[in-house]
Amino acid sequence: MTAPAISAEHLARSFGSTRALVDVSLDVPAGSVCALLGRNGAGKTTAVRILTTLLPADGGHALVDGLDVATHADQVRTRIGVTGQTATMDELLTGSENLETIGRFCHLGAAASRRRADELLHQFDLVGAGKQLVKHYSGGMVRRLDLAASLVAEPEVLFLDEPTTGLDPVGRGEVWASIRTLVAGGTTVLLTTQYLDEADRLADTIVVIDRGLVVAQGTPEQLKASIGRPFVRVALAGADAATVERVRQLLGREAEVHGRSVSAPADNGLVTLGEVVAQLRQLGVPIDEVGLELPSLDEVFTTVTDHSANAGRMATTQVDES
């Protein structure tokens, strides 16, 4: 088994009293594409900023290409490419000059930097625009140039933070095509997105995060397989690991733990839900919420990322914590 290209364990980060990341762990095998799926404010960008050495974590640790991002930031930076949400290209330089400057900063040398810039302009269909100042570019062109900039030094691991947010459908299609080309070349990619279909189209594995916690993960197929089958989900906000484990065992072989909640298929629907509630009461487990989830294709993302919005649609039973 090869070591994962990205490995994060229990990452946590707060900004003042706001807990952006509570507990996020993920592994991305080398050469695969992982999508970090979540709403605005779910903690996606914070996770990426920690993994790309831009932000120290408060808790947990992370390895990129086997190197600790906190203690070996300089070496990590020689192995990663990053494209953030905000444009990082200099508007007063041409596309070609921007890429060439990055090449020089990556110590490729002047001549090789120019060659690499030409290659990338070609690859990203920007040859005609290479000699134009970036301020004359369209949004999709800037994003593609930014993407090209993160590839100048041919990184092992590429981080793309919402690479298509704010783009029109044409621009989005262009960026998707570029990402597919890279993946075909064997680059490991971690991308964040708010769009399920984007994750579905590009990713080998999807990690859904919400409010700083991992709420679901698996291949697109696994996540889809879970759709259409009712699930019972038990939220255990204040519980310790042992309690979470007891509940997992109670819910049977197919039960899965996502952060502080446990879910399992409930093939008999409300009957299963009733049984589970009775058993949990007997055990005396302090429970926040027990619910039956009936996800549809459109709702899978909503279901795992927003409990309160689901309360109306779900057959929810409040259990007091005594």
CB of residue 308 to other proteins, shortest distance in Å: 30
* Among the residue ranges 99-107, 164-172, 221-229, 263-271, the one whose residues contact other proteins (CB under 8 A): 99-107
Burial group, residue 226, by CB count within 10 angstroms (0-12, 13-18, 19+): buried
Q: Please, which residue, 85 or 316, has the CB nearer to other proteins?
A: 85
Q: Check residue 114 for interaction with other proteins (CB under 8 A).
A: no
- Report how many residues bind other proteins under the rule CB under 8 A: 28
Q: Which of residues 136-155 bind other proteins (CB under 8 A)?
A: 149
Pairing of strands 315-317, 261-265: unpaired
Phi, psi for 62 (deg, rounded to 5)? -140, 140
SS3 of residue 255 by DSSP: coil
Contact pick of 28, 34, 99, 106 for other proteins (by CB under 8 A)? 106
Q: Please, which residue, 1 or 111, has the CB nearer to other proteins?
A: 111
The one-letter amino acid at 275: E
CB of residue 24 to other proteins, shortest distance in Å: 18
* Among the residue ranges 23-31, 95-103, 251-259, 275-283, the one whose residues contact other proteins (CB under 8 A): 95-103
The one-letter amino acid at 291: G
Q: Check residue 92 for interaction with other proteins (CB under 8 A).
A: yes
* Among the residue ranges 29-37, 102-110, 238-246, 291-299, the one whose residues contact other proteins (CB under 8 A): 102-110
Q: Which residues share a beta bridge with 67?
A: 64
Q: Please, which residue, 14 or 85, has the CB nearer to other proteins?
A: 85
The one-letter amino acid at 222: Q
Helices (H), the chain: 44-51, 73-77, 95-105, 110-123, 139-149, 169-184, 196-202, 220-225, 241-250, 270-283, 300-305, 307-310
Q: Check residue 14 for interaction with other proteins (CB under 8 A).
A: no
Residue of 14, 5, 7 whose CA lies nearest to 57: 14
CB of residue 237 to other proteins, shortest distance in Å: 29
CB of residue 75 to other proteins, shortest distance in Å: 8
Q: Which residues have CB under 8 Å from 32's CB, separation 6+?
A: 5, 188, 189, 204, 205
Measure the CA–CA gap between 99 and 120, rounded to whole angstroms.
Answer: 8
Q: Please, which residue, 53 or 226, has the CB nearer to other proteins?
A: 53
Binding positions for other proteins, rule: CB under 8 A: 49, 52-55, 74, 77-78, 80, 82, 84-90, 92-93, 97, 101-102, 104-107, 133, 149
